[in-house]
Amino acid sequence: MSFSRPEEDVPAPPRRILVIDDEPSIGLSCKRILGRHGHDVRSYDDPQAGLQAALVGDSDVLLVDLVMPEIDGLEILKRVKAAGVSSEVVIITGYSTVESAVEAIKQGAADYLSKPFSPSQLEMVLRKVCERSALIQENVLLRQELELRQGFEGIIGESRPMERVFSLIQRVAPTDGTVLVSGESGTGKEMVVRAIHRLSRRKDHPLLACDCSALAPTLLESELFGHVKGSFSGATATKQGLFEAAHKGTLFLDEVGNLSMETQGKLLRSLETRRVRKVGATAEHEVDIRLIAATNRDLTEMVDEGAFREDLYYRLNVVPIYVPPLRQRRGDIPKLAMAFLKRSCEKNAVEIEGFTPEAMAQMESYHWPGNVRELRNIVERIAILCHFDRIERQHLPSEICQTPARSTVTQLPQSWEEFKKLKQQAKDAVVQELECRFLTEVLERCGGNVTKAAEDVGMQRTHLHALIRKYGLD
């Protein structure tokens, strides 16, 4: 008979530790205690220098003193979390109170450590934080695995246009090529971007997104490139931009067509030199990022109108990926609807088996001006309100059951400007659908011979090729 010994405390596996404390003795103590277990420990007694090192994002755990001159531990914690840095943060405090500990945890700290601390206390906190981080990462990977079992990298679609999108993603993802994802609002452009990042060599580094339509030009420049303290009114501290924060990872610029001409020029320079300069600074910093841009606007038309730089357009449009609207992939509607229904039922704790054939046929005939986003939201609404085992035609919203001529307008505009915008969207939708059908028929008539098709309809072959790429036709 054998007896097992009580399990001893197992030290945390080697980690990269960054200590920020204005008392040099704390940094030296952490190096001595943690270094004997193989941890790579760096320390800074200058809080500003420590913050800059933390924002690089190459540390697993940050040990940050709560009370320091110029900038305190909570502010460093906020800056690190706002920049999307994945490092776990442990707050060190010599003024241990319930209030300070609770506030640190609320702001995203993993734990806190009270001065003076013993070697065993430091090792125990580090082990707990590392175990928690590993568990969170494991859960994230499991969720991603479950999501990826459905569709391609979480994107649902079996139609030919979507097969072309999937093929392009697979071919471009392992490279560092710049990608321009285009398509109407709600088609799933961001999902394409995330799929490219997940399949890339940069997947272990951050994917940071910036909505270019959400900020004024001056604020957008600060968001992208960062700024130095005092560079403009309200710049009370130096800020890291998304270019620097996304170092080694991917930067996603959404609605890039909304950039001002001045910002376009600065973006072009950064892409060409691989260097960025903070607003108000004189020095430049080298960055290593993969850029992916997305737009729901026709950038070629904007170039012709002088609203978008031609050189920037060609710099972004290295690998174009067009995400088709839902009306051009109607065969995907049943699978999408069932996936959204299942997700909504799980989320809202309801039980609905599916759709009747009449309801699904009506959904397939609808124009879907809001594309996949509209389909997802409507299915969730129906799942919440329906009290039957199956969704019938009578449960569909009125806009879906109306005639096709009226189904493209879900709400009347309230102003002339809104009406003009809606009118243009309706024109664009009709033109794109006719254009796609026209191209499909011509190519089928000419057996897929592009040269013959161009001669047959009196088009330049290069123009026909561009339209074929735009609509994802083979």
Topology of the domain covering 416-471: Arc Repressor Mutant, subunit A (1.10.10)
Topology of the domain covering 16-139: Rossmann fold (3.40.50)
What integer pLDDT is reported at residue 407 of this predicted model? Answer: 41
Arithmetic mean of pLDDT, 220-235: 84
What integer pLDDT is reported at residue 443 of this predicted model? Answer: 82
What integer pLDDT is reported at residue 98 of this predicted model? Answer: 58
Question: What is the rounded CA–CA span in Å between residue 474 and residue 221?
Answer: 40
Question: What is the rounded CA–CA span in Å between residue 392 and residue 6?
Answer: 62
Taking the whole predicted model, whether its pTM rises above 0.75 is answered as no
What number does CATH give the domain 150-324?
3.40.50.300
> 23-37, 101-115, 173-187, 460-474: which range is least confident on average?
460-474
Write the CA distances from 81 to 31, 72, 107, 108, 170, integer angstroms. Answer: 25, 15, 8, 7, 32
pLDDT tops 50 at residue 5: no
16-139 matches 150-324 in fold = yes
Arithmetic mean of pLDDT, 165-175: 93
pLDDT tier at 13, thresholds 50, 70, 90: low
pLDDT tops 50 at residue 457: yes
Which of 180-206 are b and which e, b meaning 16 or more Cβ less than 10 Å from the residue's Cβ?
bbbbbebbbbebbbbbbbbebebeebb
Spatial neighbors of 444 by CB under 8 A, at least 6 apart, are: none
Backbone torsions φ then ψ of 83, nearest 5 degrees: -80, -5
298 in Cβ contact with 256 (< 8 Å): no
Arithmetic mean of pLDDT, 385-397: 89
Where do the structural domains in the chain lie, given as residue ranges?
16-139, 150-324, 328-407, 416-471
List pLDDT tens digits, range 265-313.
999 999 999 999 988 888 888 999 999 999 999 999 999 999 999 999 9
Share above pLDDT 90 across residues of the chain, in percent, rounded to a whole number: 37
List pLDDT tens digits, range 14-30.
788 999 999 999 989 99
What is the domain class of 328-407 according to CATH? mainly alpha
Which of 375 and 58 is assigned the larger pLDDT? 375
Share above pLDDT 70 across residues of the chain, in percent, rounded to a whole number: 89
Arithmetic mean of pLDDT, 171-180: 94
pLDDT tops 90 at residue 423: no
What integer pLDDT is reported at residue 419 of this predicted model? Answer: 78
pLDDT tops 60 at residue 1: no
Which of 469 and 7 is assigned the larger pLDDT? 469
What integer pLDDT is reported at residue 472 of this predicted model? Answer: 63
Of 99, 105, 98, 65, which is closest to residue 81 (Cα–Cα)? 105
List pLDDT tens digits, range 152-169.
767 888 888 898 999 999
pLDDT tier at 402, thresholds 50, 70, 90: low
Arithmetic mean of pLDDT, 194-216: 91
What integer pLDDT is reported at residue 258 of this predicted model? Answer: 93
Strands, E, within 329-437: which ranges? 354-355, 390-391
List pLDDT tens digits, range 123-141.
888 888 888 877 776 666 5
pLDDT tops 70 at residue 200: yes
Of 292, 89, 334, which is closest to residue 197 (Cα–Cα)? 292
Question: What is the rounded CA–CA span in Å between residue 31 and residue 40?
Answer: 8
Question: What is the rounded CA–CA span in Å between residue 272 and residue 259?
Answer: 17
> 136-140, 170-174, 202-206, 457-461: which range is least confident on average?
136-140
Mean pLDDT of the chain: 84
Burial classification of residue 474, based on how many CB atoms lie within 10 Å of its CB (0-12 exposed, 13-18 middle, 19 or more buried): exposed
Among 79-83, 234-238, 419-423, which range has the highest average pLDDT? 79-83
SS3 state of residue 63? strand
